Amino acid sequence: MKVFSTIADFREARSQIKDRVGFVPTMGYLHEGHLALVRWARGDCDAVAVSIFVNPTQFGPNDDFARYPRDADRDLGLLAKEGVDLVFMPRGEEMYPPGFSSWVEVGRLTERLEGAFRPAHFRGVATVVTKLFNIVQPTRAYFGQKDAQQAAVIKRMVRDLNMNLDIVVVPTGREGDGLAISSRNIYLDSEERRAALCLWNSLRRAEDLWSKGERDAETIRQKMISFIQQEPKAKIDYVSIADPETLEELIEVKPPALILLAVWIGKTRLIDALLLGGNLSESAL
């Protein structure tokens, strides 16, 4: 495994690989969800590249950039065990040199849900991902379904800008009890960890209602909200049942339909998502 901190050195190494390259962009502090993406890339492609970069431009002033967990040595050890070929670990000034002033914006998809609660978040995401795609030149790039809005934004960006790669969305990695695997889970104490199960259990409740014939989106949404509100440590930012391509709210839940939610558990903000009546390969995700 070769590790690079500069764009020039990474590009030189990448130029030596003529076969298919699978790419997994990360912010580090890797967990089983990231490693699942790496394994999908390994199964699809001849070589695998991973980036580790905590991107400052996607964090707002009240977000957790400073305390976002970092452990480069641990990350590199995990990637080496997975047989990753190339790792790109740039410094902030390498990605955003003095005078940087160019941004990528994806429009309506970024104006609601996460975009409404975290202004400029997706501008930072779309910009850094575009830069990474330009540097890595992957055949395919891999994202998790938990970050469903992000995956939809990246897919739209790739399509609109005629980027020459495929985006693959991989099912959410979960703990044994269903909690979505996330780097932010380490912020939860034992009581908050228990409380956080309300996200997954509310998604399961929605899926059960839908499977039994309920098709009114607002009915399902309100039952999810009522369920989460029974947990005193939970505070809801949003619960959405939307079209997976446009992210517009649905009135009638016709498949495929995407359920997205963001909930504070104590001081930790968690997100999750579930696709109803479809599969990832056929949907906009």
For the purposes of burial, counting CB atoms within 10 Å of the CB of 245, is it exposed (0-12), middle (13-18) or buried (19 or more)? middle
Closest CA to 29 of 81, 67, 86: 67
Active site residue 34: yes
Nearest-5° angle of CA 145, CA 83, CA 8?
85
99 vs 34: CA distance, rounded Å: 32
Give the DSSP H/E element, type plus range, for residue 94.
helix 92-95
**How many residues does the structure list for the chain?**
285
Closest CA to 114 of 169, 65, 153, 158: 153
Among candidate residues 34, 131, 155, 156, the one labeled active-site is: 34
Are 129 and 103 in contact by the 8 Å Cβ rule? The answer is no
The torsion angles phi and psi of 141, rounded to 5 degrees, stand at -125, 145
**Active-site residue numbers?**
34
